[in-house]
Structures are given as structure tokens and as C-alpha cells.
Amino acid sequence: MTENLQQTKEILKQNFPIFNNESLIDRIANHARVFKNEKEELIVDLGDFPKWIPLVTKGALKISRADSDGGEIFLYYLYPGQTCAMTLNCCMIDKPSEIRAVAEAGTEYIGLPRKSLAEWMMEFEEWRQFTLESYNDRYENLLATIDAIAFHKLDERLLGLLQDKSIALGSTKVEITHKKLAEELHSSREVVSRLLKQLEKVGKVSLQRNQIELIDF
């Protein structure tokens, strides 16, 4: 048990250097629960009241949202050292989740109990800083997305999405169809196929059936 606790602290220090405060790390480690996901797993669904705030330590969480026609729209990935701003928000003001979080295979995260957050917020400058930075990251990301949509930079969005997926899967080879990519970007399959062709021409990707390989990035 004690060695588990030590281990948790080590993982925390490695992935969240911002928590540079022994008593905060102690408190987190003492209340945390470590989650490991062997395969793809649903962590939070729409409408859930999340009990745990995830601090990602390995792999990636895929955050998405339902759109008006029941489709699913990808929002962003969370990588080690990050947490879910949306879930934080839900927990603070006690409302159901508007997003869905799915863990990629092999993802690990430390779950923090919902009720501790308000306390820590008051008590630890480091924690306050961390949550505010999380919100800020998301906000910047949102602005960048709006920019890309407003200026019709679909090619950039496509490449960005592929790079995201590549990082999340820890491989330069992404197994996905053009159709699925088009759905995530809310575009049509033909447009995505043609853009991919262009990206292949300029040597950014290599195309196989059901698989896209990212080159030199």
C-alpha cells in the first residue's frame, strides 16, 4: 500500500511538475485512485455526473460531443499532464456532462474525487494555477478551431486531426477511413479523399486502404 502511494507520487511529479508542493502532492496521492484502461473504454458519457476528475498520466483521452443529428463530433485529445476542463467545470457547479470521454487503449489516469476540488482550490496556489491553465488551454484551442473554420482551412484541420490521432495512438500510422475523417470534420468523404491526395503529393502522408501514414513530422 505504501509503495503504491510512493509510486503514485512519483507519477504525479513526472507528469505534473506544476504541483511543486509536497503537501498538495500528499493530499492528491491520498485521495486519488489510479485507473488503467487496457482497451478503448468509455469514461464519461453525456449526462453523467462525473465522480472523478482525470489527471492523464499515460496515453490519451478522446473528448467528443454529440451534435444536433445524433452524430458525434470530435473536440480534442487530452495527453499526459492534462486534465479535462469540461469535467472540472461539471464538478464545480454540479451539472451533467455535455461531453463524452473515451480512453484510447493503454491509457492511465489518476482520478481525483469531485468533492476535494473546492478545498484544494482554496488551499493550494498550485492547484488554482493548474485549473486556470487548463481552462486557458481549452479556450485557446477553441479560438484556433474557430479561426480554421472561419477561413475554410479544411486542409489544415485535416492534417491537424491526423497529427492528433498519430500522437494519441503513439504511431505514425493511423487506421481510419476517409469517410470517418470526413464525419469528424463535418465535411464530405470526397473532399477529404482529394485533400489527402494533395497531402500525399507534397509528401506529408502516405495512403493505404484503411490506413494513413504521417511522414516527417
Partner DNA sequence: ACATTAATTGTGT
Partner DNA sequence: ACACAATTAATGT
Binding site for DNA (CB under 7 A): 177-179, 188-190, 193-194, 196-197, 207, 209-210
Minimal distance, residue 204 CB to DNA, in Å: 14
Q: Measured from the CB of residue 179, what is the shortest distance to DNA in angstroms?
A: 6
CA angle 165, 214, 179 (to 5 degrees): 60
Which CB, 23 or 210, lies closer to DNA? 210
- Residue 176 CB, shortest distance to DNA, in Å, is 8
CB crowding 12-41: b at 16 or more within 10 Å, else e: beebbeebeeeebbebbbeebeebebeeee
C-beta of residue 47 within 8 angstroms of C-beta of residue 31: no
Rank residues 165 and 178 by Cβ distance to DNA and give the closer one.
178
Q: In the complex with DNA, which residue's Cβ is closer, 20 or 210?
A: 210
Distance (Å, whole) CA 29 – CA 10: 10
Residue linked to cell 506529408: 204
Using CA atoms, how far apart are residues 46 and 165, in angstroms rounded to an integer?
Answer: 22
Q: How far is the CB of 177 from DNA (least distance, A)?
A: 3
> Which is closer to DNA, CB of 47 or CB of 70?
70
If the CB atoms of residues 4 and 211 are measured against DNA, the closer one turns out to be: 211
Burial 154-174 (b: 16+ CB within 10 A, else e): bbebbbebbebbbebbeebeb
Specify the residue, 129 or 210, whose C-beta has the smaller distance to DNA: 210
CA gap 15, 124 in Å, rounded: 18
- Phi, psi for residue 121 in degrees, rounded to 5: -60, -45
Residue with cell 470534420: 185
Min dist CB 190 to DNA, Å, is 4
Taking the complex as a whole, the smallest distance from the CB of residue 45 to DNA amounts, in Å, to: 25
